[in-house]
Amino acid sequence: MPVAPEFDGGVPPIASGPSKSPPSGSCDTHAHVFGPYDVFPFVTPPSYPPPLAPFELYSAMLARVGIDRGVLVQPAPYGTDNRALTDALRRGKGKTRGIAVVTESVSDRELAALQEAGVRGLRFNEMIDSGTGGRFEGSVGVDQLRRLAPRMKELDWHAQVWARCDDAASLAREITQLGIPVVFEHMASFRVEQGTRDPKFREILALLTEGRIWLKLSVCRSSKAYPNYEDVRPFHDALIDANPGRLLWASDWPFVRISDAAPDVGHLVDLFSEWIGDEEIERKILVENAGSLYSFQ
């Protein structure tokens, strides 16, 4: 039964323009669209106040910060109803790619339609909802990936996984044995209080160094130091040192479950440039890596 939410999460604020323009062809590899809800209602009640963040606002945000390309990720409240996602991808006219959510019951025809719309991977969620003690309602776990892997290989799709740092390395080894590239969201969800010497984070660094995984550099989820995220900087630096050829930049717009600590995307762009301090590496992460993984022409 479709769920028509109240807009408790409001409308995302307008991003500021960064002080330095990103290189041409830059890509924000992690954002979500929500609504309009009279056209695209949720299929399950959200575990957070839902924002009203349709394609028009998303597109305006990218233009404001000077980013040319984007990757949209299916949020849990839409479950396996990917219509809002694919509508946005088609309206992106080749400048957007998507990460969808399906189960093993999906038909080959549906997978082909997702591919045609611009989907290049599937999202799998192993995080626990603290409110329920179970997986976020509407999400799909890695158990489904095991069954979907042969069909994903045929499409040349990758797996995008949201998991705790404690679980990420073992999941990565299992997924790569299935012959599927794996991308971890939110810098593999390390625990900032554990520091960069945490054995589980070091496992992630080793896999990254070997080129066996991809990671999205989105700083706001793991940090406790809004708005400049100084506590995340050592982890960010360690990942850059390990292998910039397997890293992607991600805003995480429109920042669900962050409330008053939602960042300004323009500020995130500036922080990334400042922390990298090398135009060649910046271009590799913002342009080249994303272009390769998501098959931008």
252 belongs to the catalytic site: yes
Report the b/e string of 75-103 with b at 16+ CB within 10 A: bbbbbbbbebbbbbbeebeebbbbbbbbe
| Assigned domain for 21 exists | no
Q: Which of 10-19, 123-132, 134-143, 279-288 has the highest mean pLDDT?
A: 279-288
d(CA 52, CA 11): 5
Distance CA 235, CA 192 (A): 8
**Total domain count for the chain?**
1
Strand partners, 239: none
Burial class (CB in 10 A: 0-12, 13-18, 19+), 151: middle
Judge whether residue 1 has pLDDT over 50: no
DSSP string, 88-129: HHHHTTTSEEEEE---TT--HHHHHHHHHHTEEEEEEE--B-
Per-residue pLDDT, 9: 63
Q: Look at residue 144 and tell me if it is in a domain.
A: yes
CA atoms of 233 and 83, how far apart (whole Å): 37
Q: Token pair for residue 239?
A: 């990942």
Residue 5 lies inside a defined structural domain of this protein: no
Q: Which of 38, 252, 260, 264 is catalytic?
A: 252
Domain span at 214: 27-293
Q: What are 150-184's pLDDT values in tens digits?
A: 999 999 999 999 999 999 999 999 999 999 999 99
Q: For 36-52, what is each residue's pLDDT tens digit? A: 999 999 999 998 888 99
pTM (2 d.p.): 0.95
The CATH code of the domain that includes 265 is 3.20.20.140
